[in-house]
């Protein structure tokens, strides 16, 4: 039985990175896949490293013809109905493919893409992403794709798409994927964007109030100013309501504290207030503040 997704990996002189790239695909939470590594005429140990991996991995050899030709060869060799690229110097987060397939199915087809981080020797940072800015809506994508390539090479698309719009252009040594996405969008295909927490981290960083899900990715939790410990996003409304109620109680407590001191201190200073009564009133004031605050324990969101 053929897998649903074929992950195509162009590789040239990639012995230094291809092992990690293949492993990142094999550790995906989505399991209905195969990995097709196209060895584009490498003279190093690229092919040997790939063959050392167990699982649904195979190597296809060709004379060196460039990354576009390697992508086309991988698609031609693929058995799955869907294609995703993972270049030999890329790494996938474990839920990357699962998120792409979910978005693809929810959108009813087209192209599913996600943001990605630049990987530096010091690691990744939530603000250092490949795509920055607001992701364009379906109506904006024809214009937006001419201004910036917002579709990642690690996108997911149907294997039949190159038959419709043509293959990756082998005469281009760079931006061959941008050319492909432009033709796809102008042929009427639309791109859906994954919002899986990892890809939302830049938006959380830039937002006036970034709210992350506690069960999401570590980078998203780190980037968010507010973290919902539950995985239920509907509780965001409860959190905002509770915050509003808390500020209201703080204002009430401050009002009565200032009112008490404004009235009682002058009376005590002029001798009109017995010290024992003043001490009892001070204790009563503290109790009233605590009691007013404890009302928040009974807070229930409006339904």
pLDDT value of position 196: 44
State the average pLDDT over residues 14-39: 97
Residue position matching structure tokens 């190093």 = 44
In the prediction, which pLDDT does 232 show? 65
Query: Given strand 111-113, what is the order of strands in its sheet?
Result: 57-62, 33-40, 5-11, 82-85, 156-158, 111-113, 191-193
301 or 133: which leads in pLDDT:
133
Q: How far are the Cα atoms of 65, 124, 283 from residue 121, in angstroms, in the given order?
A: 30, 9, 59
- What pLDDT, on the 0 to 100 scale, is given for residue 207? 55
Element (H, E) at 265: helix 235-269
Q: With 90 as the cut, is the pLDDT of residue 169 above it?
A: yes
Q: What's the distance, Cα to Cα, between the start and end of the chain in Å?
A: 49
Its pTM stands at 0.66
**Range with top average pLDDT, 110-119, 180-189, 221-230, 235-244:** 180-189
Q: Kindly report the CA angle at 233 between 230 and 236, in degrees rounded to 5?
A: 90
Rounded-to-integer distance, Cα 212 and Cα 192, Å? 21
């Amino acid at each position: 039985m053929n897998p649903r997704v074929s992950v195509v990996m162009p590789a040239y002189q990639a012995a230094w990175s291809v092992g990690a790239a293949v492993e990142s695909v094999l550790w995906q939470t989505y399991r209905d896949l195969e990995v097709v590594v196209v060895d584009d005429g490498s003279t190093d140990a690229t092919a040997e490293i790939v063959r050392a991996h167990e699982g649904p991995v195979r190597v296809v050899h060709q004379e060196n013809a460039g990354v576009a030709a390697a992508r086309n060869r991988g698609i031609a060799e693929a058995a799955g109905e869907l294609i995703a690229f993972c270049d030999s110097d890329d790494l996938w987060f474990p839920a990357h493919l699962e998120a792409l397939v979910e978005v693809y199915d929810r959108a009813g087809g087209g192209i599913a893409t996600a943001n990605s981080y630049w990987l530096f020797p010091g690691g990744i940072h939530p603000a250092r992403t490949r795509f920055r800015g607001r992701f364009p809506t379906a109506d904006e994508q024809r214009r937006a794709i001419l201004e910036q390539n917002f579709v990642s090479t690690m996108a997911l698309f149907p294997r039949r798409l190159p038959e419709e719009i043509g293959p990756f252009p082998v005469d281009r040594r760079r931006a061959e994927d941008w050319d492909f996405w432009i033709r796809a969008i102008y042929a009427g295909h639309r791109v859906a964007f994954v919002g899986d927490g990892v890809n939302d981290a830049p938006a959380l960083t830039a937002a006036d109030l970034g709210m992350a899900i506690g069960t999401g990715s570590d980078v998203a939790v780190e980037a968010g100013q507010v973290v919902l410990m539950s995985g239920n996003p509907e509780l965001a409304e409860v959190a905002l309501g509770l915050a509003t109620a808390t500020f209201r109680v703080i204002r009430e407590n401050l009002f009565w504290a200032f009112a008490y001191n404004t009235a009682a201190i002058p009376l005590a200073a002029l001798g009109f207030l017995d010290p024992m009564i003043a001490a009892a009133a001070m204790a009563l004031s503290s109790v009233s503040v605590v009691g007013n605050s404890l009302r928040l324990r009974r807070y229930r969101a409006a339904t």
